[in-house]
Structure 1
């Protein structure tokens, strides 16, 4: 050996098991960082692509702008790229029949094609795709929504020429053309009229992919043609979709551009909804693609940006701390095993600096092996997971692709090196400060610190006997060993509580919701606007649907808007602060609150509601007897900062009565209903009341008693996934032909995505929790087993003075249990505090009432105690058998 530091290589080769364990710890740490980073980048990429597909690849849109103003906007310095759309005209497809007009009072007088001219950039930005054929390439070609073919007389095919009667839709109230903005594209009125201007001929070249949910009673279909816009007419209105050079301060830039085209009041109002905030005048509208901007951290709401940034920082910090704990334990255990060896080196002249260098060199060798393997393994693990997801085509993750980010790989490597050497600092200093005499005298003992006299614990002795008293002294006498063991377990508990809490938060707020939970929605069009008895769905239709072989579940919905009298003492402080402007109408000692929903989902709905019940009952007999309701006491309110707030509205308890008045009942009398249950959220449609009111769910019998009506307004169908649904859709079409007031939406694709996406998110999050738990178990195993190995002489002494093998076993088991108890105590407290901090940060995106994560706390605490007990029992095998004399002479 030419150099003292070469002892590092010899040790690593000699102690192969310990070296392998240390390398595995580093590999797991770097794998965790790499895989989480790769997962985050890949999911963000997926969300960006999905958002672009659904909302478009633009930052801000100027809708209904004149040709002169359009030129100014397009030539603005801040604009990188733009797409142009203009409305060419509306075209009549057919006249609505008198039968349909009489049955559906909301029907438009015609079914229209909304013809717009797109340039290539607009087609690319808005992700316009042809399901069949291709997109138009000149102004004489056209592509249509496929569903409109049903209403076209000649049923044109690709390549067919069609003549269209084009013109303007006129508002009969003011005689003006319906405004050119986003609302005018999708809305219609029974009183509007059509002003014919000309006939145009087009060649059908394609049919468009339907991105939304199919709705059977629509009256306006999309049709696009091509226009290169080499010349911009000042007589037309345009839709400009802009990509800015920089997304920083995008709201200020858009307002500045708008101010430059002399539109004076575009900045006067801002909408509260996060998905599509807009403001403007009657014929001009600015719309931000905030769904896309928020994924780049450039939302127009600073609170959203800040919440996303700090949420990411805290999550990543927890992972880094976890990796430091793993590697620190590995090095610390390695040093503790060799205290006597370091003491021998000090005896023969090694300085503190040289001892530190030995430890750091060991860290270098281990990281040189572990980090590259960790980087590769983390990447391969995610590759395998994405392959499985893609192969199974699960939910909205079916097209997720793995993004191997050089930045993630480099940062993971740097963090790996950083954590290894940070973890080595403590053990290196500890090894360097070993006193030669003390180290040699203790022959490998971990007793580096002074053992202070510890007072007898009469309580522990009374409960667990002398073995318990020994166990209590052992875990407290060496603070270093105690802190190492407890720290590793605390980190695992904290990560579990925080991760589980975030997952629960995502599902409670609906951030993890994709699509719909039901497959089909059948409705009476009038049911959206009023609830007269004549506007319901015949009960025979519901019974027929219920008996279809392809139907798994079906739910009738009876619904009425209602006003309640809310006593002042029953209003929650949070709700009052958010809605104080609404608390102006008082009747006696109560506020009159509107926007409440009084509903029944039938007996089937009550069964489904059981899953969300927090207190009380959903038993229909109790509800009928007590004239009762199950109260959904939470409401979703959109805040001024772009976030949504889910908060309790009242302090009502089970047994309280609510005074309720049905808006369509025709009288002003309030009736009393009794609360027999309180649910966390509703089912099927809105989980919370988004009108800032309550949802009261009851039986059809109580609904009829209170409202005087028993008409079904909607039917929600959950179809069996493994069979054809043709009989359902054909039946809906037949019902609609018989009565034009009926309509339906097909949510089959969205429903499957919702179910599968929930499963994938659960797998990913619980997979992460499993990895964290596995790392925690590795830490615990490492620490406890090493503690026992280093105390072989101690156990030999105890046996020599008369302690039996069973007594030693009991002492070791009690030590493990005490470690688990202490770790559970501190881990659950710290974990809850950290989760509360993360919860408050995430409130900038969506706020819900804070609740203690008792379930996660109990699971973490019980698991901690059980795992330490199990590993203590497993580790006993290393000390159960041995001759006392041999054990007293042993070196570690």
Structure 2
């Protein structure tokens, strides 16, 4: 080791505080980079495992294939595993007590199916022959028939058909048991075949069996050899390699082997979490957004480490000057700084990587409790480490430290011995350099002018502090905007699911039923409404939604100079309407006493051609305008005029249970009195649908309670279960993104405190001189306060425009998959303004408090070494 490097190490040891601060800053930055490199792998691993636990491990399935086609699927180069299954059908369950679940539904799997699908054995074993069967524990507990292992079942298995001639296809498990209003069956089994099975095991109720399914699931063994020539077999495929071309390749394969397009489907959830998406726009959006967030974090890390080294070099300027005076070359001085970076990197990178992995492990522990407690997911996050993720973290960390030391190293190599010892490089004393506006003194006084001059003459430390503030501002605002827009995007993709579950009820005796449900302890909010769908109106061309004017069929739809809009009419109960009218600023009395409606003027839809979700204005009109409502006979196309209805108010706020309409449609919210008046009662009550919408503290528990009410079991739709995945995704991303911003902000604050503290400490002689010339403690405080203001204003002048520019970039990227207006996050902007002045103010007060008690004589004697 040469003498310069030995002196560098000695300097690092002697300046323990500065070295420790730099090392801690680098460790945290490396830990963040490690977390970024690891988190994506771990996160996708969780989502994949959760999807497999719920739906099984398969990438695509071919329905209704024969033996030859199965053989071709097996021989395909990219096929790893093939799971064969078949729905045998339904059989009436003798002695069953549940009149809404009268069947046994029998499904067959080959041996591979019991491994790849989430079939959990409670007791016994899985079937090994076609004559063996396993039944669900729910069947043995709730059906009223005490089945046990070893029992023999003789079943007549067939297909369900409705009595309604318009439903000319067999019904599967997704169709609830069909009855009339009196509970009498409106379906039958056809083409039955007798089969005999021996019960060899009990399984837990499969996750794919819906609460309203009419049959208890039972699983038998699919004997491939015996059924070699049979049709109607489903082949679920696990692929070897997942590529973006999977959709095109499958389409070509199916076409080649005469498999119709409607007979194959993909496991889009599992493919998406494996990084394969059909929507190219969505894939571009996700990758670009990930790149932006990664770049922001890397820039933040580089800037913060750079500041640490820049301040270190600034403080070492006399040390470097002395080396120069005894013969050190430019290269030796530059290498001294690089060597310092290498030493700190050797210490910090291993610790940072370990800290990042441990930090993620601890974070996952807390998050797992949260997601399993709140969302009820069975899987948890686990730290997934790959060689590539660690290598990326190490390489990016080395690159970050190199970039951070490069400019300070160049600056160190150029400083002359005299300038370094006199410290003239950091302190500018020319009149032009420290010139300030006369307006500053007139408006704020001489204290403000002195503070501003000091910032100008200590430009590098001033810029380092402002830079740290700017980075903090940018990181907070962009990550905040990114997370808020993820929520907005998820809301658009769900098309307005603003409730946990819906319950369809009959008109007869529905009040007692509704009351029993809404009085449940878990129910937090509810809405009851009658829905009428077969309505339309005709709109003037200037009032229709903008995207409709661009459609190819725009001109063709016109009749008598007007454009058709279909209408969904929702009549709210008086209590719910009064609350909703107050929220949107409508006149409740007008809604009750006249033919008036609240119009939802927002439309959200999925543009399949553009591959994006769009939010737009549904109609261009104003309060007080009238709409002519018509009923339409779908068979004859004949329209009957009902009445004119007045627009009481326009809003984009949806009442619970109302979905956003697509283009060419309107939602009208009315009172029950208005519904009854329309067309002098022409809308027949029995033809309208009545729904109860609920929000609940525990939707799954609420559903179980409602299921106990026999007459509504098959009307329940639990949106909460469908929404879990999106909310879980957003919540986890929010935790991680805000975790990163908290860490980087913490480093920024530490750097700001350190920079200002160092600056104040080096200005002890200056402060003593000002005090000796008569500056009072009040004047001193004013000067410090004005310096804080100048720091904050300068940081905001740079930080806010840059943040808004990055927000616009994120918005543009999101517009690859979504479409909605750009809005600034005003609350976040206000929070940032307050936080900046608070941070700088506290830093200045903390630092200046240390020098206030300094003796003037001692301070004047001090040399800033």
* Alpha-carbon distance in structure 2 between the residues aligned to 1:724 and 1:291: 26
Instruction: Verify: 1:671 aligned to 2:644, yes or no.
Output: yes
User: Compared with structure 1, are the counterparts of its residues 262 and 367 closer, same or farther at alpha carbon in structure 2 (3 Å cutoff)?
Assistant: same
User: Compared with structure 1, are the counterparts of its residues 405 and 448 closer, same or farther at alpha carbon in structure 2 (3 Å cutoff)?
Assistant: farther
- How big is each residue's C-alpha offset from its partner over 1:107-126, in whole Å with a ceiling of 9 and x where there is no partner? 9xx95544332112233333
User: Compared with structure 1, are the counterparts of its residues 79 and 481 closer, same or farther at alpha carbon in structure 2 (3 Å cutoff)?
Assistant: same
Deviation at 1:472, TM superposition (A): 3.5
Match of residue 61 from structure 1: 61
Match of residue 826 from structure 2: 854
* Equivalences for residues 194-213 of structure 1 within 5 A: 194-204=189-199, 205-211=201-207
User: Compared with structure 1, are the counterparts of its residues 156 and 670 closer, same or farther at alpha carbon in structure 2 (3 Å cutoff)?
Assistant: farther
* Alpha-carbon distance in structure 1 between the residues aligned to 2:817 and 2:787: 45
Deviation at 1:322, TM superposition (A): 1.0
Moved more, 795-804 or 150-159: 150-159
* Equivalences for residues 400-799 of structure 1 within 5 A: 400-406=380-386, 407-442=388-423, 446-447=426-427, 452-453=432-433, 456-477=436-457, 479-510=459-490, 521-524=502-505, 535=507, 538-549=510-521, 551-561=523-533, 562-574=535-547, 576-577=549-550, 581=553, 584-586=556-558, 590-594=562-566, 596=568, 598-600=570-572, 603-604=575-576, 607=579, 616-617=584-585, 620-621=588-589, 623-624=591-592, 627-629=596-598, 631=600, 633-640=602-609, 642-652=611-621, 659-661=628-630, 667-676=640-649, 678-684=651-657, 686=659, 688-689=660-661, 693-706=665-678, 708=681, 713-719=690-696, 721=698, 728-729=705-706, 732-733=709-710, 735-736=711-712, 743-745=715-717, 762-799=734-771
* Alpha-carbon distance in structure 2 between the residues aligned to 1:491 and 1:869: 18
- How big is each residue's C-alpha offset from its partner over 1:298-352, in whole Å with a ceiling of 9 and x where there is no partner? 2122222222222211111111111111111111111112222222221222111
* Alpha-carbon distance in structure 2 between the residues aligned to 1:10 and 1:72: 72
User: Compared with structure 1, are the counterparts of its residues 292 and 335 closer, same or farther at alpha carbon in structure 2 (3 Å cutoff)?
Assistant: same
Q: Secondary structure at the match of 1:27?
A: helix
Aligned partner (choices 249, 254, 270) of residue 253 of structure 1: 249
Instruction: Verify: 1:863 aligned to 2:835, yes or no.
Output: yes
* Alpha-carbon distance in structure 2 between the residues aligned to 1:623 and 1:489: 53
* Equivalences for residues 57-206 of structure 1 within 5 A: 57-93=57-93, 112-130=103-121, 134-144=125-135, 154=145, 156-168=147-159, 178=169, 186-187=174-175, 194-204=189-199, 205-206=201-202
* Alpha-carbon distance in structure 1 between the residues aligned to 2:817 and 2:51: 17
Match of residue 824 from structure 1: 796
- How big is each residue's C-alpha offset from its partner over 1:87-118, in whole Å with a ceiling of 9 and x where there is no partner? 33443447999x99xxxxxx9xx955443321
Contact 2:163 / 2:188 at 8 angstroms: preserved in 1?
A: yes
* Alpha-carbon distance in structure 2 between the residues aligned to 1:505 and 1:778: 30
Deviation at 1:152, TM superposition (A): 5.8
Contact 2:90 / 2:215 at 8 angstroms: preserved in 1?
A: no
User: Compared with structure 1, are the counterparts of its residues 38 and 479 closer, same or farther at alpha carbon in structure 2 (3 Å cutoff)?
Assistant: same
* Equivalences for residues 388-407 of structure 1 within 5 A: 388-391=366-369, 393-396=372-375, 399-406=379-386, 407=388
* Alpha-carbon distance in structure 2 between the residues aligned to 1:254 and 1:89: 29
Aligned partner (choices 288, 291, 296) of residue 318 of structure 1: 296
Q: Secondary structure at the match of 1:689?
A: coil
Instruction: Verify: 1:296 aligned to 2:274, yes or no.
Output: yes
* Alpha-carbon distance in structure 1 between the residues aligned to 2:691 and 2:165: 35
Q: Secondary structure at the match of 2:642?
A: coil
Deviation at 1:252, TM superposition (A): 2.0
* Alpha-carbon distance in structure 1 between the residues aligned to 2:700 and 2:248: 53
* Alpha-carbon distance in structure 1 between the residues aligned to 2:141 and 2:696: 25
Q: Secondary structure at the match of 1:80?
A: strand
Moved more, 549-558 or 13-22: 549-558
Deviation at 1:410, TM superposition (A): 3.0
User: Compared with structure 1, are the counterparts of its residues 663 and 56 closer, same or farther at alpha carbon in structure 2 (3 Å cutoff)?
Assistant: farther
- How big is each residue's C-alpha offset from its partner over 1:253-300, in whole Å with a ceiling of 9 and x where there is no partner? 11221122135xx5xxxxxxxxxxxx43xxxx1212222222222212
RMSD: 4.1
User: Compared with structure 1, are the counterparts of its residues 700 and 10 closer, same or farther at alpha carbon in structure 2 (3 Å cutoff)?
Assistant: farther
User: Compared with structure 1, are the counterparts of its residues 27 and 658 closer, same or farther at alpha carbon in structure 2 (3 Å cutoff)?
Assistant: farther
User: Compared with structure 1, are the counterparts of its residues 804 and 644 closer, same or farther at alpha carbon in structure 2 (3 Å cutoff)?
Assistant: same
- How big is each residue's C-alpha offset from its partner over 1:140-193, in whole Å with a ceiling of 9 and x where there is no partner? 1223456667996745344432111123456999999947xxx86645889876
- How big is each residue's C-alpha offset from its partner over 1:453-479, in whole Å with a ceiling of 9 and x where there is no partner? 465424433332222233344444555
* Alpha-carbon distance in structure 2 between the residues aligned to 1:174 and 1:723: 36
* Alpha-carbon distance in structure 2 between the residues aligned to 1:472 and 1:601: 65
* Alpha-carbon distance in structure 2 between the residues aligned to 1:832 and 1:293: 34
Match of residue 272 from structure 1: none
* Alpha-carbon distance in structure 2 between the residues aligned to 1:698 and 1:144: 49
Deviation at 1:754, TM superposition (A): 8.8
Instruction: Verify: 1:329 aligned to 2:329, yes or no.
Output: no
* Alpha-carbon distance in structure 1 between the residues aligned to 2:352 and 2:833: 30
* Alpha-carbon distance in structure 1 between the residues aligned to 2:611 and 2:204: 33
* Alpha-carbon distance in structure 1 between the residues aligned to 2:508 and 2:324: 92
Aligned partner (choices 345, 369, 374) of residue 323 of structure 2: 345
Q: Which runs of 5+ in 1 are unaligned?
A: 101-106, 267-278, 526-534
Q: Secondary structure at the match of 1:833?
A: helix
Contact 1:62 / 1:287 at 8 angstroms: preserved in 2?
A: yes
User: Compared with structure 1, are the counterparts of its residues 651 and 819 closer, same or farther at alpha carbon in structure 2 (3 Å cutoff)?
Assistant: farther
* Alpha-carbon distance in structure 2 between the residues aligned to 1:757 and 1:308: 13
* TM-score, normalised by the number of residues in structure 1: 0.83
Match of residue 182 from structure 2: none
Moved more, 140-149 or 827-836: 140-149
* Alpha-carbon distance in structure 1 between the residues aligned to 2:41 and 2:187: 50
Contact 2:500 / 2:694 at 8 angstroms: preserved in 1?
A: yes
Moved more, 11-20 or 657-666: 657-666
* Alpha-carbon distance in structure 2 between the residues aligned to 1:618 and 1:36: 49
* Alpha-carbon distance in structure 1 between the residues aligned to 2:167 and 2:643: 44
User: Compared with structure 1, are the counterparts of its residues 723 and 11 closer, same or farther at alpha carbon in structure 2 (3 Å cutoff)?
Assistant: same
* Alpha-carbon distance in structure 1 between the residues aligned to 2:756 and 2:590: 55
Instruction: Verify: 1:225 aligned to 2:220, yes or no.
Output: yes
Deviation at 1:760, TM superposition (A): 6.0
* Alpha-carbon distance in structure 2 between the residues aligned to 1:23 and 1:138: 66
* Equivalences for residues 276-295 of structure 1 within 5 A: 279-280=261-262, 285-295=263-273
* Alpha-carbon distance in structure 1 between the residues aligned to 2:167 and 2:448: 90
* TM-score, normalised by the number of residues in structure 2: 0.86
- How big is each residue's C-alpha offset from its partner over 1:812-857, in whole Å with a ceiling of 9 and x where there is no partner? 2222222212222322221222122223323444444332222222
Match of residue 275 from structure 1: none
